[in-house]
Structure 1
Amino acid sequence: MLLNNLNNDQGFRNFYMNKRGPIINHLCFDDDVILFSSGNRKSLKRIMRTLKTYEDVSGQLVNKHKSSVILHDKACARRIDRAKRITTMKQECFPINYLGCPLYLGRKRISTFSVTVQKILNKIRGWFFKFLSVGGKSVLIKHVLQAMPSHLLAVMQPPKTVFEIIENAFNRFLWSGSDGNKKLHWSSWDNLSYPINDGGANFRKLADISKAFTTKHWWKLRTKRYLWSLFLNTKYCSRIHPVTNKWRNGQSHNWKAMCSIKVLVENNLGWIIEKGEVAFWYDNWTDLGPLYKFLDPDSKPSKLRITDAYQNGHWNWPACGYVVSDFIKAHIERMQVVLSDKPDLPIWKITSSGKFNIESAWNFLRNSRHESNIVNALCHKAVPFKMSFMAWRVFHRKIPSNDIIISWFKLLASPNCTCCRVSQPENIDHIFFQSYVASSA
């Protein structure tokens, strides 16, 4: 409340990105606060006065040693010294880590995400000498290692190289020996990162998880009225509808990622009309997709709402601004729209309930493949992973039999089995089905 009252103070100059958007002077998360302000003397003094009032009323002190000020990288030395003197806080420069996530300006660099990568690598190094089985390693990868960057992927999209570094570490840990030495990787992480039903080892690719979270961002932008969604709509979509808006150079990386998947999301985002606040031309409320696609490519319809075109129980087609085809008119009139005071209801068509969830978004966006029913039976979730993973390796020819070693490494060695009395070529069929040990079992 004290910080919100600063907006009414004429001597306080706020920091804002767009005059038409929400005025934000602070963001809170638990006991952390980010304050936004201009760098002039009066504004900084009013902020410090407000913080002093909070200390006097609550009895809690602001830790100045853990606090810092961040200014533009081109700010003059006089302005920097003034901010440090008034706030009595140290200065920091981007990139910084805040609540486990890097805040940066400009290009996405691999070094910006080095803290998260290093935490994962250090965790893996501590497990190398634990004498873990393949099943134990898979549990640690699924439930510990892949969960460590999840909070980061929920808010931003690291470069592809960061994903490759982390996933290479996962694969190295899975195939390594108990002494931590490198061993042959019998399968790539791409082949393992499929569900059991698709013939994988039930791991997940970090890029697919990142896309699922980006889908959630677009869903919230289009269906919720949060402070974040209001800010983005004002900054990027004040004059253009989000469906037709495009990413431009200089705009944020998060907005770029959202624009890259919005077509797929919009095809599965429907609306149930109640109040009629959705866009007539751009929102998918007729199950035909956005209606602007039925117009000429050069047409630029306005953000007309359904309430503007549906008046007194009848459709006012001239108010639409463009000629609506007879096919669309007949389809809309068959819908029998009835407006009410309830908000329009968004529908996620992928789920039976119509509610959005991350699992459905991940399953929709990931690459899928069809696997043999034999693999599905062997890699059933009721079977211990150590046994199912061995069956998976056998089916995909990922074990060190003589014929595979000779073909992979071009070795000049005998392909025969050394355990049988009669010399026979050692291959997977011989080891598990035709050999003396296998037939007598």
Structure 2
Amino acid sequence: MWLLHPGFIDFVKGIWEEPVAGSPLLVLFLKLKRLRGTLRKWNREVFGNVHQQVKDAEDCVCRIEVAYDQSPNEGAKEELEEDRKILEGVLLQEEIFWKQKSRVSWLKEGDRNIKFFHSMVNIRRRQARVDKIKGADGEWICDPEGVQAEAIIVSRLVGLLSPLVEAEQGAFVKGRCIHDNISIVQEVAQDLNRKTRRGNVILKLDMAKAYDRYEGFSRQLVNRQKSCFVLGRKASLARAHMIGVVTGFPRKTLPITYLGAPLYAGRLKICFFDDMVGKIRNKVAGWKGKLLSTGGRVTLLKHVLSSIPIHVLATLIPPKAVIRRLYGIFADFLWGCSEWGKRRHWVCWRKFCRPLQEGGLGVRLLEDVGLSLRLKGLWKVFTEDSLWSEFFRAKYFRNSHVVLAGVQGVGSKVWRSTLAFKEFLLNRSKWLLGSSNISFWLGNWTGAGPLLDHVDNALQIDLDLRIKDALDEDGAWRQEILDAINSVAARDSVVLHNFAPSGRCDVLAWTPSTGGSFTTKST
């Protein structure tokens, strides 16, 4: 906001260039301290109250307009135009003020939605206020100083939670993702009706308190009214009765809602997504025609509406009919309504989803977003030792390397559709060697893909051979291994790797990303 004032830059430059003696860090500290004080004074005496400036500019324009209507002349017209420019400038300052207060960084200056900014500021104030907090003794602390002290303790404990809290706790711990838990339970639900001796059972526990309340059989306080159990088809009525008596939970049938996503077995139906579609429709109904211009609608669409389904898209593949319904809601919101009803959609939605340089709005297709999120999960299976990774490796890769894993007839529909892009991930990744404990034949460590693709008779080679074991005592590649590679280019790519195994871990790097880390944007 201050940057719009014509003398601001020169003022800051003059204050900053005044000499200060001391070490470099001390000079920086003293200059920042001096600048802060002078900026406060400058804001009060020079920049002034932006809201009062808007009011004064509006009053001035009103007076000039009345005078011009009574006596129109060239001088009055020029004066009116000049005052309108001043009003436009202070209105822009006020807009930026509310934008900064609301911390809505995705709206650009010029789309003046002051009511929207006001509502965002009020929401942020309500959400950010902590009126009371429960102390270690279980008593509520209500005085501001006590609340602040407890909050500081909590913030310092955040970094210590990961090694202390068990891996099954996916939320509220930095570095963990709740989508992992949802995906694991979805996989379990797909096997609910698999034939077993007495039938399968799913227990859904709703914890009243995450960390500080405990109960005998689960070690945490369970909300029995919100908890439930689900039985497979093979379970008997006697078994269902016994579980109900022991747990006190009601019996339910799939689908049920688990962590905001539908949990189901069998065929995925359109009706499972009614809650998500209704939530988006209600969100749009609260915005429509009240606060935003067309530019504001585009921004809200890209950064808010398109983000609501992500929680579900990360773990499920909605039917095409559900995606079409969402696109219809998005398009209705973007085109808006007139007094005669909905406006005509002159461009199909998929053209809007093209990149900006191709004439689109840069909105990502929901199908692409969902695939990117599922690919991120598959990447974690390749690279991490988390609850998610251990589960899927044990279920699908127990007796084979990921490179050899097939797709047909394996696992749930979500897993099969994700695993179909296995080659996409592997071809865009490369192992950065450290200890060289990865597979010589199956790991893409040369950048040319798995060396298994360049072998005539795969049955005669040891697929478990590690890279460090392919070296002789002098650190050179063993000749019989090089002879098994039928491609000159692939053999040369091996020979060019002159290295010695180190104590560092082998790291799988994502080549489309500069830092080597997998991101959904890079897909």
Q: TM-score, normalised on structure 1?
A: 0.66
Relative to 1, partners in 2 of residues 1:307 and 1:26: Cα closer, same or farther, differing over 3 Å? Answer: closer
- 1:62 is aligned, of 212, 222, 245, to 222
Give the alignment partner of residue 28 of structure 1, picking from 154, 165, 169: 169
Structure 2 Cα separation of the partners of residues 89 and 285 of structure 1: 52
**Quick one: structure 1 residues 356 and 113, their matched pair in 2 at CA, closer, same or farther if it must change by over 3 Å?**
same
Partner of residue 240 from structure 1, selected from 383, 400, 407:
400
Matched AA of 1:28? Q
The answer to whether the aligner puts 1:153 opposite 2:294 as a matched pair is no
Contact 1:241–1:303 (CA under 8 A) maintained in structure 2: no
Give distance in 1, aligned partners of 2:340 and 2:466.
62
Contact 2:451-2:485 at 8 Å conserved across structures: no
Displacement over 6 Å in runs of 4+:
31-40, 56-60
Q: Which amino acid in structure 2 is aligned with residue 232 of structure 1?
A: F
Separation in structure 1 between the aligned mates of residue 351 and residue 263 of structure 2, nearest angstrom: 33
Aligned match for 2:270, one of 94, 106, 110? 110
1:359 aligns with 2:518: no
Cα distance change on mapping 1:347 and 1:198 into 2, 3 Å: same
CA distance in 2: counterparts of 1:132 and 1:266, whole angstroms: 44
Hey, what's the Cα distance between the residues in 2 that align with 1:321 and 1:89? 65
Runs of 5+ consecutive residues of structure 2 not aligned to the other structure: 1-165, 173-177, 206-210
Shift of 1:209: 0.6
Q: Does 1:193 align with 2:353?
A: yes
Q: Are positions 1:286 and 2:446 aligned together?
A: yes
> Is the contact made by 2:410 and 2:416 (CA closer than 8 Å) also made in structure 1?
no
| Residue 128 in structure 1 maps to residue 269 in structure 2 | no
Give the match for residue 427 of structure 2. 267
Larger radius of gyration: 2
Q: Deviations over 1:215-244 (max 9, x none)?
A: 211211111121211221121112222123
Q: Which amino acid in structure 2 is aligned with residue 304 of structure 1?
A: L
Hey, what does 1:305 align to over in structure 2? Answer: 466
What are the superposed Cα offsets for residues 193-233 of structure 1, whole Å, 9 maximum, x if unpaired?
12222221121210111121122112111111212112211
Identify the match of residue 177 of structure 1 among 330, 337, 345.
337
Question: 164, 167, 171: which is aligned to 2:327?
Answer: 167
Among 504, 510, 517, the alignment partner of 1:342 is 504
The alpha carbon displacement at 1:326 in A equals 4.9
Q: 1:233 to 1:76 in 2, by over 3 A?
A: same
Query: What code does the residue aligned with 1:157 have?
Result: I
C-alpha deviations, 1:315-346, integer Å up to 9, x for none?
Answer: 23546895555543332121112211211021
| Counterpart for residue 331 of structure 1 | 493
- Matched-pair contact (CA < 8 Å) for 2:168–2:387: no
Q: Give 2:232's aligned residue.
A: 72
For 1:141, give the aligned amino acid.
L
Structure 1, unmatched stretches of 5+, are 1-24, 362-441
For 2:272, give the aligned amino acid.
T
Distance 1:198 1:181, change over 3 A: same
Amino acid at match of 1:306: I
- Does residue 221 of the first structure (1) align with residue 381 of the second (2)? yes
User: Following the alignment from structure 2 to structure 1, what is the Cα–Cα distance between the partners of residues 460 and 354?
Assistant: 42
What count of residue pairs does the alignment treat as equivalent? 329
Query: 2: distance between equivalents of 1:229 and 1:57?
Result: 27
Cα pair distance change 1:231/1:316, threshold 3 Å: farther
CA–CA distance in 1 between the matches of 2:480 and 2:386?
34
- Are the aligned partners of 1:94 and 1:103 in contact in 2 as well (CA < 8 Å)? yes
- Give the structure with the larger helix fraction: 2
Q: List per-residue Cα deviations over 1:29-55 (Å, max 9, x = no partner).
A: 459999999998xx99xx9xxx9x933
The one-letter code of the counterpart of 1:305 is R
Structure 1 CA distance for aligned equivalents of residues 228 and 512 of structure 2: 45
- Tell me: CA distance 1:110–1:299, structure 2 relative to 1, closer, same or farther (3 Å): farther
CA RMSD, aligned part only? 3.5
Instruction: Report the CA distance shift for 1:285/1:127 in structure 2 as closer, same or farther (over 3 A).
Output: same
CA distance in 2, matches of 1:214, 1:189: 23
Equivalent AA in structure 1 for residue 415 of structure 2: W
Contact persistence 2:430–2:445 (CA under 8 A): yes
Q: TM-score by structure 2 length?
A: 0.56
Point out the more displaced range, 143-152 or 158-167: 158-167
Q: Is the 8 A contact 1:129 1:180 kept in 2?
A: no
Q: Cα distance, 1:84 vs. partner?
A: 0.5
Task: Name the CA shift for 1:269/1:80 in 2 (closer, same or farther; >3 Å).
Answer: same
Q: 1:279, 1:303 within 8 Å by CA — same for their partners in 2?
A: yes
Q: CA deviation at 1:311?
A: 4.4
The aligned residue for residue 204 of structure 1 is 364
| Change beyond 3 A, Cα 1:250–1:80 | farther
The letter of the residue matching 1:279 is: S
User: Is the Cα contact below 8 Å between 1:276 and 1:305 reproduced in 2?
Assistant: yes
- By relative contact order (CA 8 Å, sep 6+), the higher-ranking structure is 1
